[in-house]
Structure 1
Amino acid sequence: MTACYAVQDKEARGRQFSEEESATRSPWQRDRDRVLHSAGFRTLQYKTQVFLNHEGDFFRTRLTHSLEVAQISRSIARALGVNEDLAEVIALAHDLGHTPFGHAGEDALQGAMASWGGFDHNVQSLRQVTEIESRYHGFNGLNLTWESLEGLAKHHGPVRRPSAWLKTFDERYPQEGGLLLKTHASVEAQIAAICDDIAYHGHDLDDGLRAGLLSLDDIEAVPLLNECLTEARSLDWSGYSSFECEQRIRHETVRRVINRLVSDLTERTRLNLAELAPTCADDVRYAGKDVVAFSPAMARKNKEIRIFLYANMYRHWRVVRMARKARLALGQICTILGDEPQLLPPPWREKALHYQKQSNEMAARRVVADFIAGMTDRFAMEEHRRLMDLSVLG
């Protein structure tokens, strides 16, 4: 039974371009399928989460991160009786605009595009599904539903200061009122957004331990992690080798962390919804605050995990050194191609030169940013060699 405050199939607000809906799939199942078949989704397989793609086959990528966010989102949506398919598609699409080399790549593009409208991977995800994908007759993008686009636009909550592109897109969106940027998102979109953090903390902790950047003893300093580690260590590990024992304790610890976060989020959100007593999805949008949230105590514990990972993993010298190289490489690519768009491959070259002929440097630079944002780690490294190494043919 779908809750009254869930986004309902019969209340779907439609798509930017009119299409006949599927007879066998809901609008959001169709959105999900379009995301799964998109070029942008495939490239996530070779885009950095924390470790660059060539650093190891077992570390998370943007693709596996997105799949984990989707799995957790569906579980919570099901527990709350809301639209699982909508939560899933937002989770799967939320990182489609991410650059190669993770946040280091985004920092590089932000710096290189500072004078040309800036760069934000959340806005880029919207650009990917509304403009950059070119698969269908009659329109660019994937022509996702209004509800899916709303969830992507408000991934971090109401948009108080939209970028120039997002503001323009919102103003010309055919649905009256655009994407309602200043309101909160649906329950489903809020679920996908906070599950992004839950997945981050779980798999980054796992990858950090696997890579040797963190040890099990290190995480004892964080209360929630220590609680879960103590439980895992207290199990009967007789019969396992010391190596296998440590490996399984790591997994048991991480899954307990995720379970604690998910359980608290689900219970607290139930209480928040009962207090708000919404009768429709719009009641959630106009509530004035997020309804999907941790309890205050768990929010503090979640923040402690974030602080710990930032200090001990994201700022680890091995990660910082690789991030610095990534920023330099991507910044150089953006500067070279922005200054000389004739070096771009077709059809990107034709697009950028077309805008330059119109004296629209802002649009020409945006073409370059779109091209770079769509690169995989591997392609970006090869492109940097092609542009910088005289021994490599263009």
Structure 2
Amino acid sequence: MRAPYASDPGLSRGRLVPEEESDFRSCFQRDRDRIIHASAFRRLKHKTQVFVEHEGDNYRTRLTHSIEVAQVARTIAGALGLNQELTEAVALAHDLGHTPFGHTGEDALHALMAPYGGFDHNAQAIRIVTALERHYASFDGLNLTWETLEAIAKHNGPVVGNLPWALAECNDCIDLELHTHASAEAQVAALSDDIAYNNHDLHDGLRAGLFTDADIEPLALVGPAYAEVDQLYPRLDADRRRHEALRRVFGVMVSDVIETSSTLLKQANAGSVEDIRHLGRPVIQFSPGLWVKLKELRAFLFQRMYRAPSVMKTRTEVSRIVEELFPLFMQAPDLLPDRWQGDLHDADDETALARIVCDYIAGMTDRFALLEHKRLTGQENPDVLRATRFL
């Protein structure tokens, strides 16, 4: 049963370019399907989550991460009576704007783009779905519904102050009411992202040997899960013990969001999605107690995984790839592929050119960025390719 504050596809504000409705799919289902079929979504298969894409088949990539986020988001949305299709669409689209090499690539591109308005992967996701996907006869982008665009733009909360240029450009055409909170579905997608990466970064960090089970057992969120498994299965082998413990950690986070958010939604007494938008506070949250435990877990992962010495070394190496590609294309834009040459005709100043180059580099996969760098500079990148590296 859908709650009164859920997003109703029958009340959608529609699309920028009007289209006939489908006979058998809601407008949010069509949005989800268009995202899945987008070129940018497929490229997530070869983009870094934490481990460089080529380093092992068992590590997460941006694509598998997005699928895991969508799975969590559908579960929570269903339990709260929200629209699962809209929630899933936002979850699948939330990382479309990521650069090659994860947040390291984003930091490098943001620094390079500082004179031209900067770079933000959330804003870039909006640019992709409104302009850069060019497959349909009647429009650029995916022509998503207002609700899906709003949710992608504001899933982390209201966007105030100086807007990233890519988001400002979209908002000039479609007022996304950036000063308000997004729908509850968008808020679910945001916390599902937190749940997914906290869980799978533990998995991947353990698999890579950055830390051990004994290292994480003292963590308040993790220790009780291992203790429960040891009590139920005292002679379980190490791999199964780990899996059983971490799936319990995962379940605790999901259950906490559902229970806490159910209470907050009842307190809000919202009768519509508009009530959620103008409530002035998020309604999808972790409990204060779990939030304290999550902060401890995040601090551990930051120190032992994201900022380990081997990680920092590789951050420098892959940053160099982006830092050297950008000026090459700026100085010789004819190096851009043929499909990008048409955009250059409309680039009447350096800022416009920089934004085209930024779009091109941001869309690269890890492997393509390495190949392009080698092709254009003649340099091998053995330090990036040789051993397990982390970003």
Superposed pair shares fold, TM > 0.5: yes
CA contact (8 A) 2:119 2:164 kept: no
Q: Which amino acid aligns with 2:316?
A: R
**DSSP-derived class of the 1:322 partner:** helix
- Identify the residue that residue 202 of structure 1 maps to in structure 2: 199
Q: Number of residues paired by the alignment?
A: 380
Moved over 4 A (4+): none
Identity of aligned residues (%): 49
TM superposition score normalised by structure 1: 0.94
The Cα offsets for residues 89-108 of structure 1, whole Å up to 9 and x where unpaired, read as: 00000011111100111011
CA distance in 1, matches of 2:217, 2:154: 35
Residue aligning to 2:310: 318
How far 1:390 sits from its partner (Å)? 6.9
CA-CA distance at 1:237 after TM superposition: 4.7
Aligned-residue Cα RMSD (Å) equals 1.4
Aligned 8 A contact 2:159 2:179 in 1: yes
CA distance in 2, matches of 1:45, 1:374: 12
Which amino acid is the alignment partner of residue 66 of structure 2?
A: S
1:106 & 1:351 partners in 2: Cα distance? 23
- Measured in 2, the distance between the counterparts of 1:75 and 1:59 equals 23
Q: Distance in 2 between matches of 1:279 and 1:296?
A: 26
- Find out whether 1:172 has 2:173 as its counterpart: yes
2:151 corresponds to 1:151: yes
Q: Secondary structure at the match of 2:160?
A: coil
1:390/1:102 CA distance change after superposition, 3 Å: closer
Candidates 218, 229, 233, aligned match of 2:230: 233
Matches within 5 A, 1:321-360: 321-352=313-344, 354-356=345-347, 358=348, 360=349
What are the Cα deviations for residues 129-183 of structure 1, in whole angstroms up to 9, with x where unaligned?
A: 000001101110000111110011012100012223322321222xxxx111000
Check whether the contact 1:60–1:203 (CA below 8 A) recurs between aligned residues: yes
AA aligned opposite 2:371:
E
Deviations 1:257-311 (A, max 9, x none): 1111110110010110111100000000001010000111111111111111101
SS in structure 2 at match of 1:96: coil
Corresponding residue number in structure 2 for 1:274: 266
- Give the equivalent residue in structure 2 for 1:306: 298
Contact preservation (8 Å) 1:155, 1:190: yes
Structure 1 unaligned runs (5+)? none
Q: Which amino acid aligns with 2:170?
A: F
**Which residue identity does 1:254 align to in structure 2?**
L
Q: 1:251: how far off?
A: 1.2
TM-score, normalising length: structure 2: 0.94
Structure 1 match to 2:179: 182
Distance 2:55 2:329 in 1: 27
Matched, 1:4 2:4: yes
Mean CA deviation greater in 196-205 or 154-163: 154-163
CA distance in 2, matches of 1:314, 1:233: 29
**Which amino acid is the alignment partner of residue 321 of structure 1?**
K
Counterpart for residue 218 of structure 2: 221
